Structure 1
């Protein structure tokens, strides 16, 4: 509102204005409406952030509780049933890692610092691996998961950022599985004129028309049955942001109670010269070909040094560990390592300064991989692009570390036979087998305990159910998978469905 309008308004209030000054009232009204709208928007954003923080707090506390509890059980029982506890701890850590990754992705998108890579992807293998990864999650809920492609209609290779495309499709498929209690989730893929169309179709609870836009907001979660499902509400916001950064589009069509269809369209060009390298070998890495390689790890976290050393030494690496930059520089001069793993945030110094010293002393032949829990571009000072060869964000999977080592050192892994097989479209779940007498009581108790989140009680009841016979043991395995992934809603649904079937 201008100063002249304020003057005319003041004249009207004091009775000194004329008829022309009435126009000032319209400008005042418009300004007040704009202020009111801005206030409502700010209050809505603040409420959304409050809900988001509460959700994230729950998402963090649940796996932390499992990690803390199972670690104590393993210590108390002197290793008894340690394998099951270790699996729960690993899944809990993965859950926390994915949550942190999501928060960092949001930060990168908002700051405009996210960069895309241009990878060559074996298209159909890539899609089948996604189905393979999520099949157990679908099976635990008793639903089908299928990949649908036109026969011979997909190119062998396409260009895309493999990590980000995988992230988009996993987010959509995981959401579809989470919100589907009966029926089937399908990934339908079409490709024409270098335009790839991915449709994730489910037979789940659906989305109200009024919520179809809100679900893509970073701090929003829709109400109703959807609000009861586990999750921090970041997946779709990240998905939409990534698709737009990749130059594509995502849309949703949904009918409440009937299911949803999320469609992503991206331009994925074919490489002019298809790569001749074979597909990645399956099987566990047990060593590598060629001479012994030397790796220096500089990290002030003793547990992290021990963990990385324990992972790499059995594969034949000569490991050298240093807790600070001074010791690391001295070790590097002594052993002349092939590669240095260097933490950025050392206790008393910057990892970038140590990397700069290593580069000046040893030249470009020394491979330097920076490790950090920070966003890469936020962690790297300007002008330091040449002091390191690679960045690896903590926490990292063992396979990701091996990929970086192979890339930087030009290594070929030796693998044990075995590995995941090819996965087609699984059939819809078969009818449940009859349960033995006595299962009814356990199912009712499991349903009750799932509603209140009593994890110890659930473990005991599921174990008791498993002892009743083969059909009960199969049902118990599905329930354990839900419990290990903290999907108590799915666990309650399975118990209720089995309970109803018995009646």
Structure 2
């Protein structure tokens, strides 16, 4: 088309020019040359135009194909996101169901455990109880404490996994805290016949900020594992402090941990291959909880071990020093009353066993005690008397403890103190826990010293403590027939090993076979119960010298 238009234009030029000019042949030759030159140019331009059009069409087709693929990918992502959202909802629903189950199971276990632990504590404080039954009661209390610790451990794992574990900011007197731990585990190590070595830095802060319960839980788990799995040698507890980082090392000479088990032992209910063969392997939750708690507290736990040589656990935590600590007076002697006017306490619990337990604890101290089986009964009693302190169970049929507390506050009992007592975990109560209807919260099973300290703080009273009891009169060798020398030598050998349980069994054997040595057995049992092994050994050596 372009070439035809050019030819038409050149033909018109030739016709117009040839009429005026007589050199037709020369003009025709020039126009033909111009035409052929323009045809070449037109051909090249036309070809370039065709190529551009083809390229544009190919680009448009590729764009449409890519757009289609992108739309398909977006649809696939939408379907994947929808499936992930459904899976997330299912997982959250399952996790919520698990948490509800664990919390409900905790409540059902803590309710009977509260009576077991509470009455065991009361019996253990009864001085009229003979030594042997008191030892049996002590075993019951320790077993109840162990079961309570297992419940707390399962709850802690559930709360940490759900991200609902809350740390408290306590003022911990570090030296006293460490001395308590060392005193407890030194006795356990001595009873097992191994050495317990404690090394502390020359300078330690007096008071640090930490969650005392969680810190104690971590160290108790590590130290108890070290003593449990060490059959011979020693356990070292080493403390380093460089403000504000504290490092605790627990070093033992146990069987060690295989390299493949160094990470597996931190999984729930898992144990190392070498530890399974040891007696009393535990539940397998201690290290799991310790690592999780250390992570929540901003620290970490590391372990190194050599099979056949021992293991070393290192815990690093942030423990900042308290510049102005508050003063607290420790309670060392038993409480038998309080100073000032008599106070009235109203106990509300739907379980009569729990009401009786609280009555057994508080009645001997001089309080005026009232009790109600439910919320309406509590409100009815509160209208006729003005209690100074309400002890409210939370989970009650009909009207729960939170509703009772709110009703008491709205009824004008603003001066009275309200202490909530529950077997459910703290997180089970949600928002009501943060509302200003109550002044304190205690978990079941109730720890009697903690209960008394909370009552003292809420009522602002001062306890009267029993004076220190005079020590029992020393048993003298000539006051009764001395036991046979073979028994004395066996008891001396067991004392050198520090095997307290074996000493108690041997004393039982002597008391059963030789009733005439009852005074000797009673005196030795008193020393062993106090873990006064130095006086125990001194007395036996005196007896042994009389026979030689």
Q: Same fold judged by TM-score > 0.5?
A: yes
Partner SS state of residue 204, structure 1 = coil
- Give 1:435 shift: 6.5
Deviations 1:323-368 (A, max 9, x none): 1111111122222112211111113432222222122213543222
Distance 1:355 1:241, change over 3 A: same
Q: Greater helix share, 1 or 2?
A: 2
Q: 1:389 aligns with which of 432, 435, 439?
A: 439
- In our comparison, the structure showing a higher alpha carbon Rg is 2
Contact 1:179 1:226 survives alignment (8 Å): no
Partner of 2:464: 414
1:464 to 2:547 alignment? no
Q: Does 1:124 align with 2:149?
A: no
Q: Distance in 2 between matches of 1:461 and 1:280?
A: 37
After TM superposition, the structure 1 = structure 2 runs for residues 88-103 of structure 1, keeping only pairs within 5 Å, are 88-103=139-154
How many residue pairs get aligned? The number is: 374
Gaps of 5+ in 2: 1-101, 103-108, 124-128, 470-484, 495-503, 530-548
1:370 paired with 2:420, answer yes
Aligned equivalents of 1:132, 1:285: Cα separation in 2: 24
The answer as to 2:193 corresponding to 1:148 is no
Q: CA 1:411 to 1:132, structure 2 compared with 1: closer, same or farther past 3 Å? A: farther
Partner SS, residue 224 of structure 1: coil
Structure 1 runs not aligned, ≥5 long:
1-52, 54-59, 420-433, 444-458, 482-503
Q: 2:164 aligns with which of 101, 113, 126?
A: 113
State the distance in 1 between where 2:433 and 2:445 align: 26
Q: 1:225 to 1:190 in 2, by over 3 A?
A: closer
Partner of residue 266, structure 1? 317
User: What is the rounded CA distance, in whole Å, between the counterparts of 2:396 and 2:453 in structure 1?
Assistant: 24
Query: Could you say which residue in structure 1 is the equivalent of 2:356?
Result: 306
* TM-score under structure 2 length normalisation: 0.61
Deviation for aligned residue 1:237 = 1.0
Is this contact kept in 1: 2:256–2:274, CA < 8 A? no
The 1-side partners of 2:510 and 2:229 are apart by 26
Q: Is the 8 A contact 2:243 2:319 kept in 1?
A: no
Matching residue of 2:85: none
Please say if 1:359 is aligned against 2:409: yes
Shift of 1:395: 0.4
Paired residue for 1:292? Answer: 342
Q: Distance in 1 between matches of 2:186 and 2:382?
A: 46
Which among 208, 216, 219 is matched to residue 166 of structure 1? 216
Per the alignment, residue 32 of structure 2 pairs with: none
- Is residue 248–residue 266 contact of structure 1 (8 Å, CA) maintained in 2? yes
* Regions of 4+ moved over 6 Å: 459-462, 465-470
Pair 1:291–1:382, CA change in 2 (3 A) = closer
Query: Residue 203 of structure 1 aligns with which residue?
Result: 253
After superposition, residues 9-24 of structure 1 pair within 5 angstroms as none
**Residue pair 2:221, 2:287 contacting (<8 A) in 1 also:** yes
Q: 1:362 and 1:131, CA in 2 relative to 1: closer, same or farther beyond 3 A?
A: farther
Aligned in 2, Cα 1:198/1:224: closer, same or farther, shift over 3 Å? Answer: closer
Q: Is the Cα contact below 8 Å between 2:262 and 2:303 reproduced in 1?
A: yes
Q: In structure 2, what is the equivalent of residue 239 of structure 1?
A: 290
Do the aligned partners of residues 400 and 227 (structure 1) sit closer, same or farther apart at CA in structure 2, a change above 3 Å counting? farther
